[in-house]
Amino acid sequence: MTDTFEPTIIGFLCNWCSYAAADLAGNNKFDVPATLQTIRVMCSSRVDPVFLLSAYLHGADGILIAGCHPGDCHYQTGNYYTRRRFALLHKILETFDLDPQRFRLSWISASEGQRFSQVTKDFAEHIKKLGPNSVNKKPFTE
């Protein structure tokens, strides 16, 4: 029996677009990685970088933030804040010698169920190539 690595991916999904796209992907039976664990947030701008670092340090192999396309945010400018935070996050990751390739930001609208499927499958394949998260996994109870 061979042990194949299946990456644990945490997806922070915008309620108005990306979460709806995930729902559409499920309704249309598009393939989505079984190890994707979704967290619905009202806006991608509500994802604090501390949430991402905590998920990574607790064993997530990859983290996806998905939100509305720029200019289509339900809260008008939320995804612009997300884009800036994500750029800052990359600098933070480099400072701590963490692999920024394990983090992805993607814009997916509510009508793009097939795109949601493709983005998540591509990201899972990318993470498989990187291998398991090498950071010591700390239990959530500490």
pLDDT in tens, 69-112: 999 999 999 999 999 999 999 888 888 888 999 999 999 999 99
For residue 139, tell me if it sits in a domain: no
Residue 140 CA to residue 142 CA, distance in Å, equals 6
In a domain, 95, yes or no: yes
pTM: 0.91
Is 120 within the bounds of a domain?
Answer: yes
Residue 54, in any domain of the structure = yes
Position 55 in a domain: yes
62, two tokens: 């990859």
Question: For residue 121, what is the DSSP state?
Answer: H
- The pLDDT value recorded for residue 134 is 84
Q: Give the pLDDT of residue 92.
A: 87
Res 57: pLDDT? 87
Q: What does the pLDDT read at residue 138?
A: 60
pLDDT tens-digit readout, 17-46: 999 999 999 999 999 999 999 999 999 999
Contact 10, 64 (CB under 8 A): yes
> Residue 75: inside a domain, yes or no?
yes
Residue 136 lies in a domain: no
Helix (H) or strand (E) holding 83: helix 78-95
The secondary structure of residue 45, as a DSSP letter, is G
How far apart are alpha carbons 124 and 8 in whole angstroms? 8
128-138 pLDDT, tens digit each: 999 999 886 66
Q: Between these two residues, 140 and 135, which has the higher pLDDT value? A: 135
CATH number at residue 20: 3.40.50
What single-letter DSSP state applies at residue 135? S
Q: In 3D, which of 28, 27, 30, 36 has the Cα closest to residue 9?
A: 36
* pLDDT tier for residue 13 given thresholds of 50, 70 and 90: very high
pLDDT at 12 over 50: yes
Please provide the average confidence, as pLDDT, over all residues in the chain: 91
Q: How many domains does the chain have?
A: 1
User: What single letter denotes the amino acid at residue 79?
Assistant: N
What is the residue range of 13's domain? 9-130
Question: How distant, in Å, are the alpha carbons of 82, 107, 121, 132 from that of 69?
Answer: 11, 5, 20, 30
Q: Domain for residue 135, yes or no? A: no
